[in-house]
A and B are shown apart, each in its own frame.
Chain A
Amino acid sequence: MKQQLDDQGRLKHFLTIENLSRALLVEVLDSAERFAPVGERAVKNVPLLRGKTVANLFFEPSTRTRTTFELAAKRLSADIINLNIAASATSKGESLSDTLRTLEAMQCDMFVVRHQNSGAATFIASQVAPHISVINAGDGRYAHPTQAMLDMFTIRRAKQRFDGLVVAIVGDIAHSRVARSEIQALNTLGVAEVRVVGPKTLIPNKIEAFGAKVFNRIESGIAGADVVIMLRLQQERMNSALLPSAQEYFQAYGLTERRLKLAANDAIVMHPGPINRGIEIDSAVADGPQSVILSQVTHGIAVRMAVMSLVMGTQATTGAN
């Protein structure tokens, strides 16, 4: 995926974690570390992207990701417009490329794209004018790179390191763009072991090739883990015969206090949200002392500010303006 880098190797778009260097991922994390204190000030914005216009293109519904991108843009003093594409132009028959041309005509500088189809953000990045940067806010089963980076940020804040860590990702790995991006980021940043934990029907074939160890039982999967990442179980999987029922899933894979004791004593529990209490995670764990789920949300703003600033910064010398 060379397309997301400019000729100096900097992030022009942010489409996937795949093939990004450790140095680049660390640059994103370090930049986010500088943006984090901005959210704790009286005036929570900085003038960095003043005059820039960001379009949130959400072809698929999302609340948390959209609002944190919106807040990130506002804290950078950019103007942001939200387009709920599913409910607007495309339903009137406008083609995607016409929608993109229209937004370019509105002099947008950045598109934040959420789409149900894998590869959609990459496709859009290949179609836009050269001065526009595209950030993938989740496409199909392919990638959700900003979610992965905010999770890396949360892990680094809690553990101060990546080397030696054992990280277990539990749940519907097969349909999860979050898991895909996380596995790539964790391996690039050099953790000791990435585990994927779930029923056989929800673990993709040959995932070992991506650098993950497969566990079908949660007890062995989270044993000794430093980080436990629970994924949301999408209800529609239940209807597709991949799973028996929510109750049975909770019995087999739900993270309870008793099970969490199998992980390292200082293990942290993460979840990209929105959480299904009593399906993949017990309330006592979600609200418990080891949970960093709400910190993930806060960190998401700083990480998205960092990514937006880095990609817009590359426009400075590309001369496309």
Chain B
Amino acid sequence: MNIDVIELLEKMGAQLQQHVSDASHEDPIIIGVHTGGVWIAQYLHQYTANTSPVGELNIAFYRDDFSRIGLHPTVEPSKLPFDVNDRHLILVDDILYTGRTIRAAMNEIFDYGRPSSITLVALVERGGRELPIQPDIVGTQLNLTSSEHVKLLGPDPLRLELSEAKT
């Protein structure tokens, strides 16, 4: 897929800085959703010279499909090495699709505390939302059919891969 991910990230970094300063959010915390979201979060963290550590969310315990597909075999636990209470959070994911991942991520965040606000950042926004969740900052929008699948590969280099979903 011919999309320059770094170019998108630079644009998103600039937008994020603008967004944070417009909203006067002091010391925001950047949290990435495993795995692709963490890569993007790390880039944005560096770009915006953020001083808090990058948080990592593994939403396996909050997914709504456990009763259908069981426990996800991922190894990395969530790492939020800070107090989220009364902080402005920047939640970062690679692909925003149904919105279910973000629903699960927000549920998990609220089990750590009550943030002041959450800003949603996604590298790719595609149609197909099943929940009322919209991003604040997006790298690019893709019009894909439900049989098409887009995935972020990385971390070095970061690139987007488009494939036909298996039927």
Contacts and interface: CB of A to CB of B under 8 A. Distances in A.
Interface of A: 10, 27, 30-31, 33-38, 41-43, 45-49, 309-310, 312-317, 321
B73 A27 contact: yes
A41 B75 contact: no
Interface of B: 58, 60-62, 66-71, 73-79, 107-108, 111-113
A30 B76 CA distance: 9
A49 B60 CA distance: 12
10 contacts: A34-B61, A34-B77, A37-B77, A37-B79, A41-B112, A47-B107, A48-B71, A313-B66, A314-B70, A316-B66
7 closest Cβ pairs, A-B complex: A313-B70, A46-B61, A43-B111, A313-B71, A316-B70, A34-B77, A37-B77
B77 A36 contact: yes
A43 B111 CA distance: 5
B61 A48 contact: yes
Nearest to A314: B70
A47 B71 contact: no
Given A47-B61, A48-B66, A316-B68, 7 more contacts: A10-B70, A34-B77, A35-B61, A37-B77, A43-B112, A46-B62, A315-B67
Contact of A31 (B62, B71, B111): B71
Secondary structure type dominating chain A contacts: helix
B113 A317 contact: no
Given A38-B61, A42-B112, A46-B111, A30 B77 contact: no
A50 to B, nearest CB: 9
Q: Which of B73, B79, B111 has most chain A Cβ within 10 Å?
A: B111
Secondary structure type dominating chain B contacts: loop
B67 A42 contact: no
Contacts of A43: 111-112
B60 A41 contact: no
Contacts of A31: 71
B110 to A, nearest CB: 8
Given A48-B66, A316-B66, A317-B70, A34 B60 contact: yes
Contact of B67 (A30, A41, A321): A321
Nearest to B107: A47
Contacts of A10: 70
B69 A316 contact: yes
Given A48-B61, A314-B70, A316-B66, A34 B111 contact: no
Contact of B113 (A30, A42, A314): A42
Contacts of B69: 313, 316-317
B77 A33 contact: yes
